[in-house]
C-alpha cells in the first residue's frame, strides 16, 4: 500500500493513522522510520529509528521479516535502498505500507520503481503488479477540506 502525494499534504499523518488502526486491531507492526515523527504507544507497534535502533532501512526490514511482523511500515521511500527493501518485504509476503513523494496516487508506484537501479525495475514491476493493494494520496482542497485520491490495482508500466 503506497501513500503518495506532494510534500506537506499529510502523507505521514495518513500513514500514522493506518499504523494506529493496525495496532488497535492487534496486528504486529514494525515501523522503520528516519526519524520517528509520531510516537505510538501500542504494544503491537515497534518503531525503529534508522541510525538509532537499526543501521539502515534494509537491515530494519530484514529484522522485521525474521521476527514475523504482520505489517512492515517504511516511513518514507526516498532512496534506492528503501525502494529495494519495500520490494523485498512484499516478496516475503508481508503487508508493506510506505510513503512516496508523488504528484498523484496513481503515479506513486512509478516514483517508487524509478528510485531503483535500471536492472531491478522489471522485477519490481512484476512484484507491484502482483501485490500492490492500492495507492492513496491525501489532498487539501481549495477551501482547506481534506480528502483522498485513491488508485486501485496495479499501475500501467511505462
| Boundaries of every domain in the chain | 2-152
* H or E stretch covering 140: strand 134-140
Binned at pLDDT 50, 70 and 90, residue 155 comes out as: low
Binned at pLDDT 50, 70 and 90, residue 150 comes out as: confident
* Interval 20-35: pLDDT, tens: 999 999 999 999 999 9
Binned at pLDDT 50, 70 and 90, residue 153 comes out as: low
Burial class (CB in 10 A: 0-12, 13-18, 19+), 37: middle
Burial class (CB in 10 A: 0-12, 13-18, 19+), 63: middle
C-alpha cell of 49? Answer: 529509528
Q: Which CATH architecture has domain 2-152?
A: 3-Layer(aba) Sandwich (3.40)
DSSP 152: E
Amino acid at each position: 500500500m503506497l501513500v503518495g502525494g506532494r510534500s506537506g499534504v499529510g502523507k505521514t499523518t495518513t500513514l500514522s493513522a493506518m499504523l494506529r488502526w493496525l495496532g488497535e486491531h492487534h496486528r504486529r507492526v514494525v515501523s522503520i522510520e528516519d526519524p520517528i515523527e509520531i510516537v505510538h504507544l501500542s504494544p503491537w507497534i515497534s518503531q525503529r529509528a534508522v541510525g538509532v535502533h537499526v543501521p539502515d532501512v534494509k537491515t530494519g526490514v530484514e529484522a522485521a521479516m525474521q521476527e514475523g511482523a504482520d505489517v512492515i511500515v517504511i516511513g518514507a521511500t526516498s532512496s534506492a535502498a528503501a525502494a529495494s527493501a519495500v520490494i523485498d518485504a512484499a516478496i516475503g509476503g508481508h503487508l508493506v505500507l510506505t510513503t512516496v513523494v508523488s504528484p498523484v496516487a496513481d503515479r506513486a508506484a512509478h516514483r517508487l520503481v524509478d528510485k531503483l537501479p535500471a536492472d531491478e525495475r522489471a522485477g519490481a514491476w512484476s512484484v507491484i503488479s502482483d501485490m500492490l493493494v492500492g495507492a492513496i494520496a491525501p489532498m487539501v482542497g481549495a477551501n482547506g477540506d481534506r480528502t483522498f485520491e485513491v488508485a486501485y490495482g496495479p499501475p500501467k508500466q511505462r
